Chain A
Amino acid sequence: MRIRNTASFLVTLLILSLLGSLILMSGAIQNSGQFGALYPALLLSNSIGILVLMILIAANIFRLLKQLRAKEAGARLTLRMVIIFTVLAVVPVTIVYSFSLDFLRKGVDSWFDLQVSDALSDSLELSRESLELRTRQLLKQTEKMAEEMSRQSAELSALNLDALKRPSALLNSQHIPNPSRLDQMRSQNGAEELIIMSGDALVISSSEKSDLLPSLPSESIQSQVMQGQSYIGLNPSQSGDLFVRIAVKLNVNQNSPSQYFLHAIYPFSSRINNLTDRVEIAYAQYNELSYLREKLTLSFAMTLTLVLLFSIAAAVWAAFYSARRISAPIRDLAAGTAAIARGDYTKSLPVQSNDEIGFLVDSFNSMTNRIARARNQVEMQREYLDTLLSQLSSGVMALTNQNIITTLNPAAVKLLDLQQVDYKGGTIESLCRTNTHLNALEKELIPLINDSREDWQTQSTILAGEGSRELIFKGTKLKSDDRVPQDSLVIVVEDITAIIQGQRDAAWSEVARRLAHEIKNPLTPIQLATERLRLKYLTKLGKTDSKLLERLTRTIIQQVETMKTMVNSFSEYANVPVIRREKVDLRDLIEDTLDFFKTAYPKATIELKITEGIPEINADPLRLRQVFNNLIKNALEASSEIGGGHIIVSVREVEYIQSHYFEILISDYGTGIPDELIASIFEPYVTNKNKGSGLGLAIVKKIVEEHHGVVSLKNKTDQGVLVTIRFPITKSISALEVAE
């Protein structure tokens, strides 16, 4: 802004300087004596100044064209205003210019009147005739004097001319001509000077009215006279007065080798001098003006043209300046509107005037402030909603009517076990396809989403990283209104795995408890009765019968023992756990367990990878040992079927969906588990082994969950099974709890 003001000030200064310079130039034309010497410099400086103005205007035009090409706001308005201002300024100035030129030409012409010119010429001619008449009279007088002098030639011939060459000697010479006679003749004839000169330009004798040195004739005059032609000339004197110079040859002694002539100067009377002087001056001035006529007209025209160019250039520049100033607030308004369209509500425009445009700018600023405040409120509400959604344990998903995800809270990401966090902008279909474990969900969910029902609900099982997860999806359609810009769908996801599992576990516990109760009670009488039967009749029967009895009773007793063991297992599964927590070093516990199995399976390769710095945990060591026993035994049995057996046990600390866990991984290289069993492998009576109660993994799961952990199992892509146990650090076995 400061640079622009400085530039405008400089241009204004230039315009004022040019104006002053043009006034001086006009003065120089009209009065050469005052500013005449400055005229060329003024002309040049004015031309350069106008050229500079033209260049400035060209730069402005160039800038405006650039703005028009770029379709900048306010450019068209500026162009229109510049054109209007320019036309308004140029047209009247041009009309005035053309009329002025015409008046100028006619005005200058009017100075030179033909009659005046003729009168001046005639007066000059008259003066000349008059002077010539007088001059001829003076010539006759001079010739008369010459004749008189010639009669005295004898006397003259006696002059010692050599003495005359030396004036000092001449003064004392006895041959000095009688000056009184020469003076007498001069005064009688009204001459200023009378000089007798020899042919070789020596003054013989002279008589002057004044004491000044005589005005001698030039060599050409001397030469002319010596050839016998008298000289008569009208000359201006130093003071400007006219005088007549006459030279006449003296007819001295014909035999004399020297020749002489008389030189006379006659003044005119002051009256005649005044008159002739006035005629001379008037005619000379008129003649000079007449000669300068065209040049004067041209100079005036040039000055006028410069004034015209200056006026037009100044007007066009002023037009640009004014147009830019007027259009500046409108340009600012357009820029402000564009900023708002881009979403920038912080734009505030400067209020530079208190007119209607200033009022408009002020209103614009108020509007943007209100919009900015409203947007901030909306942003705050949105942030509040986001915070609320992020804190919800239920997953929330919002979809547009094109199934594009607009909202997906962290709980939804966690429940759906999504690999990425940000799915906004994508469709629900692409989300399901990207995450392979949701492929089945897509087939179930998409028809419901596309259904026209207002509300719907469905339950689905997904296979998450930690195992299968039971989820309930509840959909509600929102119709577009003032608050909702378009039709959309909100899906709330809830995890009911724990509820289902709890119900299932409770049912199994009830079954186990009843089985244990109903089966265990008759087993003891059966065993006792069988033993009594055996004791009473084994010795009384014959050899063959006693062998049969002994085999049958042994079988009954063995089966009863087996059933007791099985019933005890059920009983153990069904019992409400009693956890005896104490500080447990996870490394020691696992190493002890592995040492036992290394002895039992000497051919097997058992590796342990444990991260340094795993702290002690607060847990029931006996029950944890039971977990590791079951899992490692299963892994070794599975891998022993192929080769000697190879298992890897890893312990590490991991972060999974913003939570920290101790993670124990048990990996084997066995035959793996059939896919159809994977989902229910932790349920009682589910096993892929020929022997066993099918309660091992169910008990593992139960113990892990008693410690608030999770256990999962999956087939590895290459070979074998990977069992993962995660104990959350923030729960009961955390390091903090250990510290207590």
Chain B
Amino acid sequence: MHIYRFLTILSVSISSVALFSHSAMAAPDIKFLSVESQLSNNILSITADAEVGLAKDPTEALQSGVPLFFDLHIEILRNRKYIWDRDLFKTKYTYSLQRHTLSKKYVLKNLITDTQQVHSSIAKALESLGQIRKLAVIDIEELTDRKNLVIAIQLELKISALPAPMMPLAYVSPQWHISSRKYKSKLDL
């Protein structure tokens, strides 16, 4: 009987910690201000503006030479009335942000398009990260039914790309849970 009581208390404690952690993680440090989609030559591209902020620990890590990786998730969903939306298409762009010690610059790279920008400060680099300009998403010929479409975008820091010794603390520390809410916008094609 005692063992069952112990297991009950343990499971309740773990659930409480998980809920608390989740609520702590939920606070967004990235905020999308606008998201627009453009169609050109059947290629759907996206332009967005976001405010990206870094807490003390990630900033310190970046300044110490630890590269930070950000994932930009783009999804095209079909909006359904009574049940959850259906995924039609998903893509991901990964950005890296790293300090170049010798030049004292911050290099922001899009690892998918293999383009880079060099910035003199973290603020400018983050500002540049938040400025998404005409990013190609999909050839709309791939979408057979184009009714009730929604485009969703989310930018988040990739904790799993951090060096292994940093990961356990990063997973439990709210400072490292840098993510935007999933920003959804109606897509008229």
Contact = CB atoms under 8 A, between A and B. Distances in A.
Interface of A: 28-29, 32, 35-37, 39-40, 43, 55, 58-59, 62, 124, 127-128, 131, 233-236, 238, 242, 276, 279-280, 283-285, 287-288, 290-292, 295-296, 298-299, 302
B55 to A, nearest CB: 16
A283 B101 contact: yes
Interface stretch (B27-35, B42-50, B146-154, B166-174): B166-174
Given A236-B100, A236-B105, A288-B66, A62 B3 contact: yes
11 contacts: A36-B163, A40-B160, A40-B171, A236-B118, A280-B101, A280-B102, A283-B102, A288-B163, A290-B64, A291-B64, A295-B165
B107 A298 contact: no
Contact of A291 (B65, B107, B114): B65
A494 to B, nearest CB: 68
Contacts of A288: 64-66, 163
A236 B171 CA distance: 32
Nearest to B66: A288
A150 B9 CA distance: 82
B56 interface: no
Contacts of B65: 284-285, 287-288, 291
A285 B167 CA distance: 18
Contacts of A296: 165
Nearest to A62: B3
B6 interface: yes
B164 interface: yes
Contact of B165 (A128, A280, A298): A298
A157 B164 CA distance: 60
Contacts of A284: 65, 99, 101
Given A59-B3, A62-B3, A287-B64, A39 B102 contact: no
B165 to A, nearest CB: 4
Contacts of B164: 28-29, 32, 35-36, 39, 299
A263 to B, nearest CB: 15
B165 A29 contact: yes
Given A276-B102, A291-B66, 4 more contacts: A62-B2, A279-B102, A284-B101, A288-B65
Given A58-B6, A59-B3, A62-B2, A292 B163 contact: yes
Contacts of B64: 287-288, 290-291
B102 A235 contact: no
Interface in B145-189: 160-161, 163-169, 171
A253 B171 CA distance: 61
A284 B62 CA distance: 11
A272 to B, nearest CB: 11
B157 to A, nearest CB: 15
B36 to A, nearest CB: 21
Interface in B54-70: 60-61, 64-66
B103 interface: yes
A29 B165 CA distance: 6
> Would you call the interface of chain A mostly helix, strand, loop, or mixed?
helix
B102 A242 contact: yes
B21 interface: no
B112 interface: no
B83 interface: no
Interface string B64-104: 11100000000000000000000000000000000111110
Contacts of B6: 58
Contact of A37 (B101, B116, B160): B160
Nearest to B163: A32
A284 B98 CA distance: 10
A341 B105 CA distance: 90
Contacts of A59: 3
A704 B135 CA distance: 133
A292 B118 contact: no
A537 to B, nearest CB: 126
A519 to B, nearest CB: 103
Ranked nearest first, the 9 interchain pairs of A and B with the lowest CB-CB distance are A291-B64, A299-B165, A288-B65, A295-B165, A32-B164, A39-B164, A287-B65, A36-B164, A284-B65
Contacts of A276: 102
Contacts of B107: 236
A29, A279, A298, A299 pick with most chain B CB within 10 angstroms: A299
B102 A124 contact: yes
Given A292-B165, A296-B165, A242 B3 contact: no
B159 to A, nearest CB: 8
Contacts of B116: 238
B167 A39 contact: yes
A124 B101 contact: yes
A358 to B, nearest CB: 34
A126 to B, nearest CB: 11
B148 to A, nearest CB: 36
Residue of A35, A283, A292 contacting most chain B CB atoms (<10 Å):
A292
Contacts of A29: 164-165
A236 B163 contact: no
A299 B167 CA distance: 9
A131 B104 CA distance: 13
Contact of A55 (B7, B99, B161): B7
A235 B118 contact: yes
Contacts of A62: 2-3
Nearest to A234: B103
Contacts of B120: 233
A283 B120 CA distance: 19
Contacts of B2: 62
A217 to B, nearest CB: 11
A571 to B, nearest CB: 97
Contacts of A234: 102-103, 105
Contacts of A280: 100-102
Contacts of A43: 168
A119 to B, nearest CB: 15
B167 A287 contact: no
A279 B100 CA distance: 11
A36 B2 CA distance: 39
- Identify the interface centre among B116, B118, B164, B165: most chain A CB within 10 Å of its CB: B164
Contacts of B66: 288, 291-292
Contacts of B169: 295, 298
Nearest to A34: B164
